[in-house]
Structure 1
Amino acid sequence: MPSDGSRRGSDDVQGAGFGGLLRRHRREAGLSQEALAELAGLSVDAIAALERGRRRAPRAHTLRLLADALRLTEPDRLLFTAAARRESATPRLPLRQPPAPTNELIGRTTELNATTRLLRQRITRLLTLTGPGGVGKTRLTLAVAAEVTDSFQDGVCWVPLASLTDPATVVPAVAESIGMQPVESTRLVEEIAEQIGRSTMLLVFDNCSHVVAQVGQVCAALLEHCPNLSILVSSRELLRLPGESVYVVPALSLPYDEENLESSAAVRLFVERATARGYEPAGELDQVARVVRRLEGMPLAIELAAARTNAMTIAELAAELETSFGILAGGPPTASPRQQSMYGAIEWSHALLTPAERDMFTQLSVFVGGWTLGAAAAVLTGVETRVQALDLIGRLVDKSLVRVIRRGGVARYYMLVVIREFAADRLRAAGQTEATEERHARYYLSLAEEAEGQLRGPEQREWLDRLESEHANLRAAITWSLGTGSVAEALRLTGALWLFCNLRGHYAEGSTWLERALQLADLQPPERMNGLAPACAKANLGAGTLAFLQCEYDAATELLRTALKQYKELGDDAGTALVLQRLGGVARERGDYEAAEDLHCESYDLYESLGDRAGMAWAHNHLGFVAWLRGDLEVGARRCRRARDAFRVVGDGEGLAWSLISLGAIAQYSGELVEAEDLLQQSLALSQRLGYREGVAWSLNQLGIVERRRGLTERAVHLLDESLAEHRDLGDRWRSASVLEELAAVAQQRGRSDYAAFLLGAAHEVREVIRAPVPRIEQADFDATQAAVESSLERRAFRAAWAAGRAAPLVAVADGYPGPDAPADRTRDPF
């Protein structure tokens, strides 16, 4: 039975705090803090923190070490442990709470759902929200913290780091946020971990890009020692810790068409912020869409732009942004400098880069529309290998200055436009723009010339897609060559790309490129043109081909005849044969079938002498095309079958699509509608896979005729409307006229004679302008349609509709015929 003194001691102990009890036992054992720390295997700081109450919830392991070092009896151990439990059960010091948002969160439903699920379901214990400056990381972090509060019974603690300038202050800032009063200690991270202990809480680090290394060290230690802790981080740069889950915060959704502008989060944000400024833009959503598209949906940029509506119209704002992002400034004076302008936001990230990263960052601005790893390694200085380039680009990706898209097994990198402009300014300031642009242009010249040789073979689609993905860079390279008077590069680049422009439907742009390159060549002294005769011939061939495709027949003929003369002077039979083929196309569309056949036969003979199987296949295809257009279906079928079989062997997708189109047309004019549909569906699918727009347009045209012949007029209208839109966008007026005449036939079948007359008038106007007659194979259908329309309408009504069609812009024809008495701005449903 214990003595009265022992009993009195127990009562005293039960009323004491754990820190006081520890101090008493230490003194009774005759130990200093240093001696106890040595015996227990703990630090002196840890002993001091426990005695002073700075650490109030020691772990069980720590209690055992202390009890053993103090040689406590079993009753004293129980009392010692009970005191520690009472201490841990007392209310904790208050956690710093997340600040209250100052405005509504717009358009982040998907992001909220994805991030809160990760935290609520404990799928991850460390979640980093990353993205470039101005994308809205902090605002989304606040929303996430508010959403998941109920899932963390011990609370959410907010650790703001934006204002810190010294990395050494990170740990004290964490201690302060969790309610500790930190003192100088070498074990402050461990003390924080012991304070958190087994608490189920969320620790939120906001804006840690500039102290990311220190934050990473703290997070690693806390996650290791605090099993119920979860951490949410907002940072432009990743922590790169094991177990880190990364959520890249996207820009706000942009309007995908003009009919759904209000559904765009970017538009809604601009409208809300402009309205708050006293400017109501509801009636100018088309201009708002221009602004937010230019800003690529970046929230900070949108808010800064909306603030400018206090002094500008939205149309003026949109026009200003087309040339510069300099007006994206003037944020709230209470905001940090990086929140007061977009350049300030980017400068904050730029300042954190290493010299090598800065050099890479500025040079990458030379790329337009993105780049591949190979392009970066070839163009940029300061990197000698692809591995070096990959390492630096990867670091810029991790720091949210570069983004990556993975598609078709290829990683492609790009900068947001406003970031690229900032980097380009830095490149100019360093005096490196001219040299970097020259290396960029030479790389894309080599790419274009390599691709040129692959655009007729089995890898045609892959190379077309590659050139399409590099379209903006190719455009920039051509602009450089023309702007610097680099005539050789200009001719070689544009000449190498004309077939790409042909196949992907970039007729107008390709024509402009070639025209300017040829004009530049005309201005050069003869000595500068030495060795460039082949490039000039190819450029004339390409320019003539694209002019022909846009039905500029006179210009095409002049250019092609120039190319023909040049190729003959060079003794280049392959080039000569290709020019003859294009001249045959001009003659065919102008209705001179005999001349077209002669030209294609001459082309065939040259290809045969060269042993060029692909060229011979194309000659067969064109001869078959001429044959069925003039009504000789049997000869046309025989020629096109030979072409089809040859194209399959050589792997020419464009040629195969064309032979299938011709065979499908021959079948439908022969009344074999099932066979025609099968062939045309094959050509349509192949053309769509290739991205070959002319093939798509022709296939839809012929499928529309098939459906009209079957009496399925609604389906016919749909197909023909699609075909007309494609031909019109391409600039192919010859085929547009034929599609209009087919639509007229459908309109007449559906009892809309007035609209049919309107369409016939529109087609007549097109044919008169381009001076191309109705193809002979289509003449019978055309005559039948016109006769039916004329017999269905009074002469005055027919002439009025016909005249209205002739006067209507081609782009408006499909909208319908308003009638002779309707207001000029009103049309009615054509069908």
Structure 2
Amino acid sequence: DEDASPPWFLVDRKQIVLRRGEDVVVDLVRFQDLMRGVETHAHRRLAGCPACLARLEEAVALVRGEFLAGLYFPSDVWESWLLAQREHYTQRALEAMTWLRDAYREQGAWEAVLDAAQRQLSLEPWLETAHRVIMQAHFHLGDRNAALAQYERCAAILWEELGVEPEEETRRLHRQILDGGLSTPAAPASRGNLPPPTTPFFGREAEQGRLLHLLVDPTHRLITLVGPGGMGKTHLALEVGGQVAQSFADGVWFVSLDGVIGGAEQVQVAIGEALGLGQGERQLTGAQVLARLRDKQMLLILDNCETALDALGFIPGWLRRAPGLAILATSRTPLNFQSESVVWLAGLPQGQEETPGPAEEMFAALAQMARDSFALSAQNLAQVRRICAQVEGLPLGIALAAAWIRRRSLAQITDALGRSLDVLSTNLRDVTPRHRSIRAAFETSWAMLETEQQQVLAALSVFPGAFSPEAAARVAGASLFHLDALCEHSLLQQDQEAERYTLHSLVRQFAAEKLAGAAPAVERAFVAHFRAFARSHRNDYARLQPEWTNLAAAVAKAHAQGDWPAVLDLVHTLDEPWFRQMRLQDMRDGLILALDAAAGLEDEPALMQTLLRLGEIEVELNDYTGAAAHLNEALERAGRLEEGLCIAQAQMLLGRVRREQGQGEEALALLEEA
């Protein structure tokens, strides 16, 4: 183009130079940049690095023939240089195709393996490794005849081009396919417990890219996704967790810390439970969970870490002792560890002018799920954009607002949100703007509920975690109709397979404020239900298993109410199930509360027995200091009550403590006296 400005080529008597510029893209330069990106990028496994696989796919797509095909100059120097360059870049292209082929093979993506290997043959028809891979791909795709035909083509090409027969490895593969000796591998096992998505995923391309870059890099092992409640942290963590699954041979595992009551030990136990670790039906201790993880290549997604910040001090130690372990945490605040990489999450961006952004697209998709006749259009885009702006792109706020489409127009939703926002902005000046917006969304959802539904939602806030419809009925007076209505309003989530329900933690906080003065009565109903449940199912561990969190909460709520008989009864009823299921930390926490109950009732025998049992459990937990203190007090009280058996039991346990502390003579004296 002689009229181009600036000109494409700079020409003089000695050279022709293609000018540089952002508007000039040279496929060879791009190919080299992509290959360099793959070679220099730190990742655990190529098959598990989406960024590098994308680079290789783009690099391979750039290979469309010989280097400088059709360009000829009558010069021996030129010819020699061109042949050397063509050979170099052909080998680099084959290398890229091999990397891509082998990564797909590791994933079990045989269609993609077939495509990559066939691309290799287009460059080097006699490349036997590519022929073998094509034979395997056809066989694993169920086309045995195509696999055998590929061998015949390989043999013919080798003879015609090189005058040689196929290698022994190729002939052996042919015999295996011919004789049926080559087995079809099972599909790669999916290791982990990531729940399937229940709603589409929108936007977050930049955050996804950042997280993927960090997660595939073995030098980054603690990444925290930080943002306000309802910002979509969990959804994003699950999305990227699924994308990097190939980087972790032992899987990607999701652990919710919402509802975990206690310290570091309880968090570690919750991790073990989520991973399905245990000895038969027995629960592992935190130290045992770590022992199981020390040689694993695994990603843990720890969700809602802000609920257990003070209990997470064990994380750096775990990362040191389990070198293949990586952690992706979600939290409203950073965990504040030296090795932590923090990715901040803000609201979904809105589009510009007539182009919808992720926020509007999310609203439109969820609104259409609520009312199938809804469609985003040029006429309603401005109203949808205003709603998204009112909740500041907060995904939870968008989801709640979209659910109202079933019964309200966009104008009604906009007006309702506007009124609530104005009120909250005026009256709640100490609440951050983000929380004012989500509070406004909750207030509007609350106003749309019938009075009974409001009462049920408020009462459900006493559940610290998941609950059954039976428990909801007993504690909150909730019928299935009530629960279905709350699910429709996006205020309650249902696990249909497990037949259990959960409240989002923000919704639970909001509903608890609404419960206010009615809380004591509802919490008494909670304690009464789980007290009866524990009695009825004390030997049915399958029924107890999903209710451990609620049972521990029942003990704590009874203690907070000063209902000392209920505390002692619950702890006594759960004693054997806790012990048999190795829930020793739960047991210890319950026994500590039972001490207050026995003291409050001035029940000396109960206090003595509780101290004795607590000391025994602390021995099992290797807390010898705590055990010695409680056992000595139990021994003193047993002496005053002249309880010989309790005296002997306390002396025996103290003997164990002294033995573990290396005080052999004192241990022997105590055991002999016992």
Q: Mark yes or no: TM-score above 0.5.
A: no
Greater relative contact order (CA < 8 Å, ≥ 6 in sequence): 2
Q: What TM-score do the two structures reach when normalised by structure 1? A: 0.29
Largest Rg, 1 or 2:
1
Point out the structure with the larger helix share: 1
Q: What TM-score do the two structures reach when normalised by structure 2? A: 0.35
